[in-house]
Structure 1
Amino acid sequence: MRNQNVVVPDASKGIGITIAMALSKSLLSPFVPKLLPAAPDGCFTISRKMFSKKTETEGKTHSWVDSMRDSSPTRAKPTTSLSETEEKNTWIVNHPSALNMFEQIVNGSKGKQIVMFLDYDGTLSPIVEDPDRAFMTNEMREAVRDVGRYFPTAIVTGRCRDKVYSFVRLAGLYYAGSHGMDIKGPSKNSCRNKKDYQDVLFQPASEFLRMIDEVYNVLLERTKCIPGAKVEDNKFCISVHFRCVEEKMWATLVERVRLVLNGYPKLRLTQGRKVLEIRPTIKWDKGKALEFLLESLGYANSTDVLPVYIGDDRTDEDAFKVLRSRGQGLGILVSKVPKETNASYSLQEPTEASTLILLAKGFLFSFRC
């Protein structure tokens, strides 16, 4: 009888799987077999099943690393061989600058209720190495404050709601943290000057709080030896930042994260801009948050509303898709390079987003008066 735990040559087909490998204990691979006797040629043998399982795991890790390189949203892939300049020009034709098209946007907004949706990192603040220092400029804060006086305005972010509120520090806005899983907004009878101006609107992932906290603590321990890795607790989700991690360590990082999540099937791993995101497996994202907020404001079925969503990240694509499916609203991607996106317009950087918000406030307020 053939030993099922060891792969031996198949005489009839002349096929054998013999793998030479240096075995050592590692936290990175749960599939490393126990030490096996060496064959006469000095090679070790492992089972076909074990080989397939290990290869599949490594393949998934490599796939994640490739995606991490691309960051998010993924870089646009030209259908023909184009120079970088030609590629960008082609992309701009399909996703023109919102600043260059501002007059057209204004004309299309006449008679409609504007509702502003703004991502935070990379949109209201520049992307920085330390996520705890992603501060918005005073000019940007003034722009958001002014536009929020005239139009319902929401900050929709993967950040913890309390954290992003400490950055923005503006009452009277809606804050949708944890990718929209923690939404609060102005109550009808609140005073803008009161610290407790907000009433809880929606927290669809409350049952996952204990689990999220547990995974956060485990990840802190498992990633602390990877230089540059930072684990951020965003209450209803967890962010593992790899912006400051050397690329050669990305595979190690993603494999450690995946190993932790193997024990938590109710959590899923996604990716944002230089960050791995761990979220509950509920059907909720920034697009769902946008729909919920429109409904809360009474505009779910209105034909006289114009939602404007500005974001820079792969997670913002869920909101862009909702706007496209509604056939209503403007999706604006903040990106210096061509990206695959469902947004209709583009901006180069957060400073352009600030300019657009100021222009919107000035032109649209003048029109309404």
Structure 2
Amino acid sequence: MNKKYALDNLNLNNIKAQIKKADNVLFFLDYDGTLAPFQPDPLSAFALPEIETNLKELEKKEAYYLSLVSGRKLAELKKMIDLKRSNFAGSHGLEIELFFSEGVIYPYQTNEIDVLSKKNYQKSKEKYLAKAGVRLEDKGFGFALHFESEQKQLKAEKDLKALFKNTAYQVLAGRKIVEIRPAGWDKGQAVKYISNQINKKLGIDNTLQIYIGDDSTDEDVFRVIENGITIYVKNEDDLSTEAEYYLYDPEDTAELLVEIAGEN
């Protein structure tokens, strides 16, 4: 992967220099594989303690606005990490909670689900509920399939993409996970929405966007951030990425956050 390792001294100094030039930093982070190592049981995949500590330090800095953007359901995401002055975007941004607003926001909703799309959705849900080697997570407006093996995931991904082609649903794939959800919204759209709300409601300018993520779904964010800092967490895969920098794993994320939180 021909990208720059974020913790190399030269690259780290460049990142810090960009941050120092900004009056305000809009800091977006994925959760699983970025802040928390992967676990067989997603409910036991807690953020590394040093990561949570340093995010709490960043929350105290007036110039920082933190947002977690995850494929997890919003309520579940908020249980995984204890942050008070941060924004949370669950289900790839289909449900958002802003620290300066009341209630949950659903920035993208559509009632225009055609009969064929609904039929395919229900048929797929029933099929995978009864299938061995896969766990179905019902998210209400969509569902996620968690696979025991990548081989099973790839087969299901191929079948589902063919089934839902040109329908009101989209198929998103990650590490041993395939998700069926309404088409037309993704993490990139969610980051743009949150950024606009922060700028509009809080009246700030000269902002720098930072995004750290590890999955193919995070590529939607890397593509929309301009003149910001994009960092891909590699984990064990060597995927091509639109991000400028990379880290190896959540332990690297922790080290980077130590460096950033320690800056004045």
Q: Could you state the TM-score of these two structures normalised by the residue count of structure 1?
A: 0.61
Aligned partner of 2:41 in structure 1 is 130
Aligned partner of 2:21 in structure 1 is 111
Shift in Å, 1:128? 1.9
Residue 199 and residue 111 in structure 1: after superposition, are their counterparts in 2 closer, same or farther (change >3 A)?
farther
Question: Residues of 2 paired with 1:266 and 1:253: CA distance?
Answer: 19
Aligned partner of 1:38 in structure 2 is none
Residue 185 and residue 216 in structure 1: after superposition, are their counterparts in 2 closer, same or farther (change >3 A)?
farther
Choose the corresponding residue for 1:319, options 214, 217, 221: 221
Aligned partner of 1:226 in structure 2 is 131
3-state SS of paired residue (1:109):
helix
Counterparts of residues 213-252 of structure 1 (less than 5 Å): 219=124, 221-242=126-147, 244-245=148-149, 247=151, 249-250=152-153
Give the aligned residue type for 2:82. Answer: R
Bigger CA drift: 200-209 or 123-132?
Answer: 200-209
Question: Residues of 2 paired with 1:158 and 1:219: CA distance?
Answer: 20
Question: Residues of 2 paired with 1:165 and 1:145: CA distance?
Answer: 14
Unaligned runs of 5+ in 2: none
- After superposition, what is the alpha-carbon deviation per residue over 1:175-230, rounded to whole angstroms, capped at 9, x for unaligned? 01111111111126xxxxxxxxx433443126489x99998875553124433201
Residue 213 and residue 152 in structure 1: after superposition, are their counterparts in 2 closer, same or farther (change >3 A)?
farther
CA contact (8 A) 1:216 1:238 kept: no
Aligned partner of 1:186 in structure 2 is 99
Higher relative contact order (CA 8 A, sep 6+): 2
Question: Residues of 1 paired with 2:70 and 2:214: CA distance?
Answer: 11
Unaligned runs of 5+ in 1: 1-75, 77-90, 189-197
Q: Could you state the TM-score of these two structures normalised by the residue count of structure 2?
A: 0.83
- Note if 1:292 corresponds to 2:193: yes
Give the aligned residue type for 1:332. Answer: I
* Aligned pairs, number: 256
Question: Residues of 1 paired with 2:161 and 2:244: CA distance?
Answer: 34
- Note if 1:169 corresponds to 2:82: yes
CA contact (8 A) 1:261 1:267 kept: yes
Counterparts of residues 248-327 of structure 1 (less than 5 Å): 249-250=152-153, 253-254=156-157, 257=160, 261=164, 265-282=167-184, 284-298=185-199, 304-323=206-225, 326=226
- Note if 1:335 corresponds to 2:234: yes
Q: Whose Rg is larger?
A: 1
Residue 208 and residue 278 in structure 1: after superposition, are their counterparts in 2 closer, same or farther (change >3 A)?
farther
